[in-house]
Structure 1
């Protein structure tokens, strides 16, 4: 049994391109420090959360990563720009593909395309198309993947940092074309990828680019073994990738680059160098690195590949028991890999079959041959709908398989019948592939012929139709000319007279209509202006009266009832030394405590009706004190004040303070929220008051039908400020009120 090193190198390189590994712990700590910043903008916070989700997904477990993605989605929900949610949905689509949930992967990819339509960011549009191509490349939709990648490249051309975006796509395209054995395009994109990574200096991607470039030269040498320089170049690039990875282990984002590079080098020596002691030592050395690093980074494909190589070497030494043990280890490790390649598993069963065959255990050999053929058939059924180019590639692979089987046939004449059966099976598969390829070419030629005939028929029909149409048009023109000549003289004077009269009537009508329209417009504007002025004056008078009454009541309660209660307390305190009976002393003490509570409650009510902080220090400090009081009472209210200059008229400050009070109270009473945010922000002459909660929300369609005094007062006060109120809510997602008004009223 001869080890097929060329094929394994191709599979390893594809796994390199199709695997995204865990990030270092230092990256996670750095991202958590960024997220700990209190004033971090929402856009930057969502980006940091997405990167942390990726780290958690590959380091701490899939569930932790998905949970962080969902938190990012919730945080970016209020943002109007769709690029942030599109970014999160794209990364979730790729994550769910890794979790083998293709339904969820497609759903989140559709969501990414939905939100990317709501942004002008070319960077994010290119990223979503990249996600689409990434998934299609891994689901064997290579043609669609190439189309998506090229769309992403075209979009990135408009970006100033296009090279930073395009280099990853170059590597993906190289992997797809390598799968197709399209060496011209593989050379092009591996060269562009390596050039970009050398220029950008990104360590992990530079390692990957050297690996892919090495794979290109390996396949170049396979096609023409006289090109010895190609083999030397392949070994050079693979060794360079390993040396860079080992020298920068602590800086690597993807430490699995080390085992992938090691197994690539080992298989070059195994497949293309003589089995001398010097080269055997090199194979053992790099296999040891690949096994140790593969176990450390949980790269099952690498470990499985090493054990398969060791099994093949044991088979060549006719140590069948050791070969069987190594290949069984490869199968056990492959079973742990959710994305294990069926071709490698099929080759493992074939190796076991040949090893048992060499050992003389025909029954087990046949069992493993059956497993090999079963997987081979599944692979064939999966690939049979691919393009003619893919069929041609499979045909070439089948030809090489036939040559290998013929070599085995000559070397193992003792088991002639069994090998002949295997050869006939492979020949049938080859013949079937040839027949399918021929049929596809015939179908293509037939469709081309039908298409050309259809074009000819269509052209003939079109020519006939145009001829008939021209004849009919000529006939109609002649009839029309005769008829026009008859009526020409009769209608000439009549038409001229009517035209002049019509012009005069139209001019008079137009002048009258303009005058009436202008008068009506002026009248409507005057009515609207009068109504608005009346409404505003009524609102102003009503609210001023309310505030004056609040101020009077607060002063009367504090000065009148407060003083009275304080006097009662002083009087009772004077009786305390005169009372000697314990029971009476207890009653007096309880009464004094109740009086203290009543005085405190009285002060709280007076302070709520007209806070002294609002009068002395302005709206910003009053808002903070009000939220702090609710927090002390155990209510989850958070307050944020940014750039408030306290240059607003006192009456407008009071009005805005009442709006904030009413909105926060509504959230506390009705929203069932875990968190409530009250935010006051000033930009130049504009003030923004935001009250947001994560409670139960409500249906906006019924908001205008609400009859509560609270909602009416809010609307009235906003109108009095000449401001705007925006409400964003749906059931189950919380509520956000945004009030916008001017800090200073400009005279008009």
Structure 2
């Protein structure tokens, strides 16, 4: 079988996400984006990364231009260790096909520079470096070294980087190695791992396309055609948006193999020719050789020996094709078969002998054993790493559990401390708040009392002023106007005898009016200043007051109980005015015929109840509201720190209950 190679020729410069990308299926857009970065005003590190990234694009188009980008990138990247190291990686790519020694030397310099960087990007790039060195070994027919480097250098570095994309690529490389040894079942294991990893990362479409193509090829060689068809369909869907991608040649080759193995030789040859025409990019020569080799196999299967023989003889002239031991074995065997098919038994025997001499079964067996031993060694090392990792994880878990318990205890203690602190804080807060509220209540209470005392003082001062004014007016009325009216009455009496009978009746009427005026004047004066309070005390004064309101149609029943004579003049006068106001209201507004006035004293409490049988009213919905009389009544009650209530209803009479505070 012709050699399969997997080149990690595209690299990552992920210091900044904008200037270097993983390889893309759309290389034109990839190159345009990097050129745009170079022309923009980016800093040196970004420009250096873009310059090195453009080597991917120009490597197989214009090596001179690729070299220019390498020099520019290295110069710009001198101040950036990772980018400077990657310039030697890029140099290894530049000389990969033309000068193997220069290429490997550059790779080793890149690895030595990257060793000092403990970053994910550095580990990824070192894994790629060793993968490409492994390809050098494979091209020199050293399969043992190839697989050894992959298993013991490239893959461990990829694992250290914890980069799934690189791990997928390394598994793909190992799978190809087992395909070259015709160990297709083992190859299938690694190829499936590669697809599983790369298919979960959308940015790895370039590598996923390679994995799909090689997996399809491997399934075909295993005669597992349904799986091969499914993978081919996935590859076709992946490549559909990119008609110019170099991976189309891989797809056409796998389709050709599929139709070759299923007996559709003409269709297989069409796919191989399409693949040869579409081959481009990295490893173009190897892709064409691989396609032509499968074309030879198909021509032999179709018994078109002459065409197959012509291609094989051309292979004999191609140095790169004949460099590899496995390729020579396959070519010699195919030449023997084509010459036999053409009837040239002499040439058939010659090439069969060449094939037999070259095909040393012992060597092949030893090589396969060595490579299988390396794989077993890798798997054992992997198991040991897993065991060590599990043991470390268990120790870490035990330590973590202890630490967690300690932390939990500490947290518990801290939480308990905080809870106690919070409880004390809350307790003191409530205590302080309660004390503050108590102080506020006391303050408001004192303030209310002060306001009330101030109001009482104001009311008492107002009432005192009012009583003084009443007293003055009463005195003026009695001494002034009363004296004048009395003089007029006396003068009228003296001249009454002088009037004739004609004027006598008129004189009597005038005298009668003057008498009435005197009576009204005395009544007003008495109301303004009841002298009876000073003469007979509160009990007698109230009795005189009640009698003064009695008429033929308005009866007043006065009922005194335990009224003290030791009340101050101010208190007696206030009580007198309250009863006077209640009697006025009953006479004027209630349309009552009977009124009961009860006055009693019990210690420092004085009680007044005035009840009438009038028409009553609704205290809550009185049409007139509080009149002047009730307002004055309320003021007088308040000055003595008292309370009062009105009980009334329409056509049910009215009862007024008053409780006053009096000094002993």
Q: Which has the larger radius of gyration?
A: 2
Higher relative contact order (CA 8 A, sep 6+): 2
User: When the two structures are superposed, what TM-score results if normalisation uses the length of structure 2?
Assistant: 0.45
Q: 1 or 2, which has the higher helix percentage?
A: 1
